[in-house]
Structure 1
């Protein structure tokens, strides 16, 4: 499905980074090692590489990765792109200073719990998770993301899921998003920034 979606001309979600990432650029320290989860066509990983981070980016679509490589080349940055099924990703322990997961709500609750556990494991002690997605209100808005309400995040759900982390920021809100044809219009969003205890 994702190869088919990404096979259209142009970039489905645009080539500029998510506004969430730009607004939280203070966490993007040059030299830090970061994993971009389900990075798609590379807009977020390429942005971070441009800031001097050491970026690993994984995605399940080889079509998306080809576009991501082209974007990295055009921006003259280096990203380690890896084609991988997120459900088979090994999440090596204590590897990353930062894990960035933006709009990864294509999985249901059972898979989501496994992915959250993996993201926690792969962060170094003191490392930071940056998670950005949709709340259930997004389903009615229909401006991006899946139509499955159970895939969405709430403040309560994320508070419980990351109760073992230090939550630095957690907020839900609505605003206009213009990120290619894939994310366009008034959107119900939620941000989480949390630190793994040392």
Structure 2
């Protein structure tokens, strides 16, 4: 997937409103610093910044991050963006009050070490928030990767995020309407986990 090409399309590929699950749990994230993995065009980072968080969004697409900064300026908030390949991005230990992974679909060989680093990157009491398509999403045809390895399963995620207390961990069917690429009934994994 060429994300620069996708984000070069007019408008915002996944809309400008935050992911519904991120918005639903935002009030439970401790005040402070949030890292958003695969932030894309900024919808979650800008929303969280509007709630008073210091947000850093990291993504492999320069085009997406430029649009994220434009959205932040339009909404009157400041966010930090980092252009980086998530396969080599280093998450500093115990620096973050929250880490967000909203539809951060990566091959498991990249995702597993990244998520282990995310656990180390959280401060005590920090939270990890994830919503992503489950492996069952292949049966829906309403968005997401076509590779089962890039889709998620709770049992795998719990291993990759070992060391966290899983407050909310479910696979659910829900209507996802986010821009032009996530449209319709989908099977998603939702996680809200705390580092104790």
Give TM-score, length-normalised by structure 2: 0.95
Structure 2 counterparts to residues 98-109 of structure 1, below 5 A? 98-105=98-105, 107-109=106-108
Cα distance between partner residues in 2 of 1:28 and 1:164: 18
* C-alpha distance in structure 2 between counterparts of 1:112 and 1:159, whole Å: 12
Gap regions ≥5 residues in structure 2: none
Which whole-Å CA distance do the structure 1 matches of 2:88 and 2:157 have between them?
23
Contact kept, 8 Å, 2:116 with 2:162, in 1: the verdict is: no
After superposition, residues 105-116 of structure 1 pair within 5 angstroms as 105=105, 107-116=106-115
Secondary structure at the counterpart of residue 70 of structure 2 = helix
CA–CA distance in 1 between the matches of 2:77 and 2:55? 10
- Counterpart residue number, 2:117: 118
Distance of aligned partners of 1:125 and 1:58 in 2 relative to their CA distance in 1, 3 Å threshold? same
Structure 1 counterpart SS, 2:159: helix
- Are 2:131 and 1:132 aligned? yes
2:29, 2:42 → 1: CA distance? 16
Does residue 6 of the first structure (1) align with residue 7 of the second (2)?
yes
Q: What is the CA distance between 1:196 and its match in structure 2?
A: 1.3
Query: Contact conserved, 2:174 with 2:186, CA < 8 A, in 1?
Result: yes
User: Within 1, Cα distance between the matches of 2:186 and 2:65?
Assistant: 26
Q: Is the 8 A contact 1:177 1:185 kept in 2?
A: yes
CA distances 1:152-180 after superposition (whole Å, capped 9, x unpaired): 11222223333321111101111111100
* TM-score (norm. length: structure 1): 0.94
1:182 counterpart residue number: 181
Equivalent pairs counted in the alignment come to: 195
Structure 1 distance, partners of 2:65, 2:74, is 14
CA RMSD of aligned residues (A): 1.1
Matches of 2:76 and 2:29, distance apart in 1: 18
TM superposition shift of 1:149: 1.1
Structure 2 distance, partners of 1:5, 1:49, is: 25
CA displacement, residues 114-155 of structure 1 (integer Å, 9 cap, x when unaligned): 111111121112211111111111112121110011221122
> What's the counterpart of residue 73 of structure 1?
73
* Residue matched to 1:34: 34
- Partner secondary structure for residue 88 of structure 2: coil
Aligned partners of 1:125 and 1:37: how far apart in 2? Answer: 19
